[in-house]
A and B are shown apart, each in its own frame.
Chain A
Amino acid sequence: MALNVDIVAPDRVLWEGEASFISAPSVEGSIGLLPGHEPILSVLGAGTVMVRQLGGEERKVEISGGFISFDHDTVTIVTEPVQAA
């Protein structure tokens, strides 16, 4: 099982691909998502989104806010425009 991840900014797609784990800075603290998590829609604060790709490689994206939606192992992170780290 893998997560389908899309990280989108208003004017472009920042990253898309498959991942085994993802963590994001929700406004109430960090949340981590593994495949099979229950559907969630959460507001994100400023911080770092960490994506662990299938090979174990980690990828970090700085965001300044946005939200994350998770449904049937499809993760969409909508964020403000920022530099990909």
Chain B
Amino acid sequence: MAGQQRVYKARIRSTQSLKKIFRAMELIAASRIGKARDRVAAAAPYSSAITRAISAVATHSDVEHALTSERQDTNRVAMLVITADRGMAGAYSANAIREAERLRERLAKEGKEVVQFAAGRRAVSYYSFRKRELAGKWMGDSDSPSHKVAGEIAETLLNAFLAKAEDGGVAELHVVYTHFKSMVSQEPRVIRMLPLEIVEGVADATDDVEPLYDFEPGAEEVLDALLPRYIESRIYSCLLQAAASELANRQSAMNTAVSNAEDIVRNYTRLANSARQAEITQEISEIVSGADALANAS
């Protein structure tokens, strides 16, 4: 009987120490999420400046660029999945991967062959466990991505898009990431990054005179310099969004874990109490019946 009590006590202690860990992770996620959102906001002026410039080029010139034209020579398409490096974020990574699998099926139905890229250890281990080949992987800083990593990813993917069909070139690039809508709502999203669709006329068309743009050295060279930067900034912003989503998910998952731990502790405390009570009751009845037997015997 005393053994039962000891088991309950041990469970209560271990759950309490787990609870401390969950609480700590929740607080860490909460403190980082503000920073992550600031970074999302800080990256916005850059990407909007590039978007404006590209739409100015598109509006005022009619150059064709390799990054904006559809490729017909290959049926391979690239897909990049962005997930977390660590778990403890609820279904965050699982949701992104599920979205990626859905996209994969859709692309396969269209007769396309998917070349898989993965950012974040969870996605990498998911694919390597299933023995799927990864064309590129990035791990290590999913909750605070640096611009340098975004640059590397962009360069790899751009090279894949610009490569010849026989060298493993791809015709499209899809990115699966988790969009940060608010602290309580994040959703996995798919965007087709390449080939680019340029939206014309974001620059104000209300002017009576169309401003004549001067391109230096030339419209084509300007696009050459702009478009890779644009891709890079899009990927960077996906990474930042994903990081903020990861932290928000982790915070709420850890919050749930803390309250679950509290529930368990409460349950086991009740069980331990009733075990103790049962033991006392039994001891009393043993003493009483013993005394009774002695009294009857005399």
Tell me, in angstroms, the Cα distance from A39 to B222 when the chains sit together: 14
Pick the contact of A11 from B43, B57, B229 — CB < 8 Å? B43
Does B1 interact with chain A (Cβ within 8 Å)? no
Does A50 interact with chain B (Cβ within 8 Å)? no
Interface of B is mostly: helix
- Is A10 a contact partner of B212 (Cβ separation < 8 A)? no
Does B225 interact with chain A (Cβ within 8 Å)? yes
Tell me, in angstroms, the Cα distance from A65 to B97 when the chains sit together: 37
Cβ contacts under 8 Å, A11 to chain B: 39, 42-43, 46, 147, 236
- Is B221 a contact partner of A76 (Cβ separation < 8 A)? no
Count the B residues whose beta carbon is within 8 Å of the partner chain — how many?
A: 29
Question: How far is the CB of B243 from the nearest CB of chain A, in Å?
Answer: 13
Within B214-238, the residues touching A (CB, 8 Å) are: 214-217, 221-222, 225-226, 229, 232-233, 236
Pick the contact of A43 from B150, B225, B232 — CB < 8 Å? B225
Question: How far is the CB of B204 from the nearest CB of chain A, in Å?
Answer: 9
Q: Which of A67, A78, A81 has the most CB of B within 10 A?
A: A78
Cβ contacts under 8 Å, B46 to chain A: 8-11, 78
Tell me, in angstroms, the Cα distance from A81 to B42 when the chains sit together: 13
Tell me, in angstroms, the Cα distance from A42 to B49 when the chains sit together: 13
B-contact bits for A1-16, CB 8 A (1 contact / 0 none): 0000010111111000
Cβ contacts under 8 Å, A31 to chain B: 216
Interface of A is mostly: strand
Cβ contacts under 8 Å, B43 to chain A: 10-11
Tell me, in angstroms, the Cα distance from A12 to B146 when the chains sit together: 12
Does B213 interact with chain A (Cβ within 8 Å)? yes
Count the A residues whose beta carbon is within 8 Å of the partner chain — how many?
A: 25
Cβ contacts under 8 Å, B221 to chain A: 27, 43
Tell me, in angstroms, the Cα distance from A41 to B150 when the chains sit together: 25
Does A40 interact with chain B (Cβ within 8 Å)? yes
Tell me, in angstroms, the Cα distance from A27 to B222 when the chains sit together: 11
Within B1-50, the residues touching A (CB, 8 Å) are: 39, 42-43, 45-46, 49-50
- Is A76 a contact partner of B52 (Cβ separation < 8 A)? yes
Does B139 interact with chain A (Cβ within 8 Å)? no
Within A35-73, the residues touching B (CB, 8 Å) are: 38-43, 66-67, 69, 71-72
Does B199 interact with chain A (Cβ within 8 Å)? no
Does B278 interact with chain A (Cβ within 8 Å)? no
Pick the contact of A71 from B39, B42, B211, B232 — CB < 8 Å? B211
- Is B49 a contact partner of A78 (Cβ separation < 8 A)? yes
Question: How far is the CB of A4 from the nearest CB of chain B, in Å?
Answer: 12
Tell me, in angstroms, the Cα distance from A41 to B225 when the chains sit together: 11
Cβ contacts under 8 Å, A6 to chain B: 45, 49
- Is B49 a contact partner of A81 (Cβ separation < 8 A)? no
Pick the contact of B216 from A9, A26, A72 — CB < 8 Å? A26
Known: A10-B147, A67-B222. A39 touches B45 (CB 8 A): no
Pick the contact of A78 from B50, B56, B213 — CB < 8 Å? B50
| CB closest residue in chain A, given B216 | A42
Cβ contacts under 8 Å, A42 to chain B: 214-217, 222
Can you name 5 extra interface pairs (CB under 8 A) apart from A10-B147, A69-B56, A72-B211? A10-B236, A27-B216, A39-B212, A41-B216, A42-B214
